[in-house]
A and B are shown apart, each in its own frame.
Chain A
Amino acid sequence: MKKVLALAPALYIHVPFCIQKCFYCDFASRPISAPEVESYLAALEQEGRAVLASWPVSWEAPSIYVGGGTPTALRPAELERVLRVAAAFPRARGAEWTVEANPGTVDEAKLKLLLDSGVNRLSFGVQSFDDEELRFLGRIHTARDSVAAWELARRVGFSNLSLDLIYALPGQSLDSWRRTLGQAAALCPEHISAYSLSVEPETEFGRRQAAGTLEPVDDELDLALYQEAQEVLSKAGLLQYEISNFARPGYESRHNLVYWRNEPYWGLGPAATSYIGGERRTNLKKVADYCRELEVGRAPVAERELAGRELEMAETVILGLRLVQGITWERFYERFGVDLRNVYPEVIKRLAAAGLIVSDKRGLRLTPRGLAVANRVFLEFLPD
Chain B
Amino acid sequence: MVQDMTSHIRNFSIIAHIDHGKSTLADRILELTGTLSQREMEAQVLDQMDLERERGITIKLTPVRIDYRAEDGTDYQLNLIDTPGHVDFTYEVSRSLAACEGALLVVDATQGIEAQTLANTYLALDHNLTIIPVINKIDLPSANPERVRRELEELLGLDASCAILCSAKTGEGVSDVLKAVVERIPPPQGKSDESLAALIFDSKFDPYRGVIAYLRVMQGSIQPGQKIRLMNTGKEYEVNEVGVFRPALTLVDALGPGEVGFISASIKNIRDARVGDTVTDAERPVAAPLPGYRRLRPMVYCGLYPQETNEYGQLRDALEKLQLNDAALVFEPETSVALGFGFRCGFLGLLHMEIVQERLEREFKVSLIATAPNVVYEVTKTDGAVLFVDSPAKLPPPTEIETVAEPYVRASIIVPTDYIGAVMELAQEKRGTYHNMEYLDQNRVLITYDMPLSEIIFDFFDLLKSNTRGYASLDYDYLGHRKGDLVKMDILINGEPVDALSVIIHRERAQYQGRQLVEKLRSLIPRQLFEVPIQAAVGGKIIARETVRALKKDVLAKCYGGDVSRKRKLLEKQKEGKKRMKQVGSVEIPQEAFMAVLKVK
Contacts and interface: CB of A to CB of B under 8 A. Distances in A.
B568 A219 contact: no
Given A195-B558, A259-B560, A222 B553 contact: yes
Contacts of A371: 555
Interface in A217-262: 219-220, 222-223, 226, 243-244, 256, 258-260
B558 A373 contact: no
A376 B561 contact: no
Interface string B557-574: 111111011001001101
A223 B571 contact: no
Contacts, number: 94
B394 interface: no
A contact patch SS: mixed
A196 B574 contact: no
Interface string A261-280: 00001010001110100001
B140 interface: no
A256 B554 contact: no
Between B552, B555, B574, the greatest number of chain A beta carbons within 10 A of the residue's beta carbon is seen for B555
B55 interface: no
B568 A373 contact: no
Given A219-B554, A375-B555, A259 B561 contact: yes
B: interface residue count bin: 20 to 34
B556 interface: yes
Interface in B544-601: 549, 551-562, 564-565, 568, 571-572, 574-575, 578
Contacts of A198: 556-558
Contacts of B578: 379
Contacts of B557: 195-198, 243-244
Nearest to B528: A376
B536 to A, nearest CB: 26
Contacts of A197: 557
Between B554, B557, B568, B572, the greatest number of chain A beta carbons within 10 A of the residue's beta carbon is seen for B557
B contact patch SS: loop
Interface residues of A, number: 42
Nearest to A266: B561
Nearest to B570: A375
B555 A373 contact: yes
B87 to A, nearest CB: 39
A186 interface: no
Nearest to B562: A273
A113 B336 CA distance: 72
A272 B555 contact: no
A223 B559 contact: no
Nearest to A283: B562
Nearest to B568: A315
B578 to A, nearest CB: 7
Contact of B564 (A303, A315, A356, A373): A315
Interface of A: 12, 14, 195-198, 219-220, 222-223, 226, 243-244, 256, 258-260, 265, 267, 271-273, 275, 280, 282, 303, 305, 315, 318-319, 322, 354, 356, 371-376, 378-379, 382
Please list the 10 inter-chain residue pairs (A to B) with the smallest Cβ-Cβ separation, ordered nearest first.
A374-B555, A195-B557, A273-B562, A223-B552, A219-B553, A379-B575, A219-B552, A223-B553, A196-B557, A375-B554
